[in-house]
Amino acid sequence: MSRTLLLFSGGLDSTVALWKILAEGSEVFLLNIQYYRRNPKEFEAALRIASMCSNKGMITVEMPFLKEIYDYEHEVKQYWMKTLNNPLTVMAPFRNIIFYSVAAHIASQIRAERVVGGHVKEDTLNLPDANPRYLEHLNNILHESLGVEAVKIEAPLINLTKVEAVKLGMELKAPLNHTWSCWASGPGHCGKCPGCNARKRVFKEAGYIDTTTYYEHLQIWRP
């Protein structure tokens, strides 16, 4: 049986990736990386979903030094906002190379042959470090680091749109109702932030009933 380490956030994409890997018969280990001010509701969702599919639990790595641009000191933030061509899409500089390097190292400890990320097609358009060419570069670096191809990075959803990924998740009976998309951390999804709006749209376009409870009346989200 193959062994996989999945970067797992508790969101829609990584949950679909998890159920796809399980359906293929691979043994799956989950890795959750906690960086500066990461939404605790995401972590709760990840723990909840992990308990549904694995008796191995979830490996958690703390990275409080890793920050999004908006959490930088003012002058540094202004520098990056001017330097980057599209600062809204690069929230944490060099995040993915850090994530995948850490994941590859952990994969070597548990003898996992591959590290999987839940990137979908929209990510390849919006994020410079989440496209097939970039991931292939990372694979070449991993190979050069050891001199052998011991761990490989894969993104099984990368050719699917988010709508197509949700359709696949529903077909696989993934617990998408337990995932977390909201940018806020209230008692439930706020229903108004970009994450919630995208979640509503994706379920609607996929043709499935969105069973998420939205707390729009609480005014949780303040842009």
For position 6, what pLDDT does the model report? 97
For position 217, what pLDDT does the model report? 86
Nearest CA to 18 out of 138, 172, 150, 167 is that of 172
| pLDDT reading at 16 higher than 70 | yes
Q: Which fold has domain 3-175?
A: Rossmann fold (3.40.50)
Categorize the per-residue pLDDT at 204 as very low, low, confident or very high, splitting at 50, 70 and 90. Answer: very high
Work out the percent of the chain whose per-residue pLDDT is above 70: 96
| Confidence (pTM) | 0.95
Q: Where in the chain is the domain with CATH 3.40.50.620?
A: 3-175
Over the stretch 123-180, which tens digit does the pLDDT of each residue have? 998 888 999 999 999 999 999 999 888 899 999 999 999 999 999 999 999 999 999 9
Q: How many whole angstroms separate alpha carbon 98 and alpha carbon 77?
A: 20
Over the stretch 174-199, which tens digit does the pLDDT of each residue have? 999 999 999 999 999 999 999 999 99
| pLDDT reading at 54 higher than 80 | no
Compute the average pLDDT of residues 27-55.
93
| pLDDT reading at 9 higher than 90 | yes
| pLDDT reading at 89 higher than 60 | no
